A = this chain, B = another copy of it.
Amino acid sequence: MTTISNTLFEDITIGDSREFSKTLSAEDVKLFAKTSGDLNPLHLDSDYARTTDFGECIGHGMWSGALISAAIAMTLPGPGSVYRSQSLKFNKPVKIGDTLTVTLTVSDKRDRVKLVTLDCVVNNQHGDKVAQGVAEVIAPSQKIDNLAIKPVDLAETR
């Protein structure tokens, strides 16, 4: 994906659905730790993680929330959306190497405030539901088509 587009409130229909997938790498876990400040060694130190009930390093629970927020910004309604609320239930741990797929499905629309409600389900590559929730988003008021995006170059930050 090198461009993203959005969907205006009037063009969104209850039942509309989009998927967004990402594989959790060891680097992703480090980046989440550094940006959030959650340095719990359960996520970062495999020697320590081996001594816990999990037996290995696992991702941060809220990484699934980050993935849902990315799905909303990148696919439906897409850029120009205003994120109002999100509920999340965390069901299962996410391991390094797991591929998560967020499925967003429009469950409600409120015309007066142009608010769209999205059911959010996050499954891993085995079909296990690792997280789920409901998002409320104000749909974009201006059409954006083929907005260029580029990968993040972390070398530029140092």
Contacts and interface: CB of A to CB of B under 8 A. Distances in A.
Contacts of A31: 31-32, 34-35, 154, 157
Nearest to A150: B39
A46 interface: no
A39 B74 contact: yes
Nearest to A2: B39
- Count identical subunits in the complex: 2
A113 interface: no
B90 A84 contact: yes
A122 interface: no
A55 B118 CA distance: 28
Contacts of A35: 28-29, 31-32, 35, 63, 66
Interface in A33-55: 33-42, 44, 48, 52
A114 interface: no
Interface of A: 4, 20, 22, 26-42, 44, 48, 52, 60-63, 65-70, 73-74, 79-80, 83-90, 147-152, 154-158
Given A29-B35, A62-B69, 6 more contacts: A22-B36, A28-B35, A40-B79, A40-B149, A85-B90, A86-B87
14 contacts: A4-B39, A22-B36, A34-B151, A36-B63, A36-B67, A37-B74, A38-B73, A38-B74, A41-B147, A62-B68, A65-B66, A66-B66, A84-B90, A154-B158
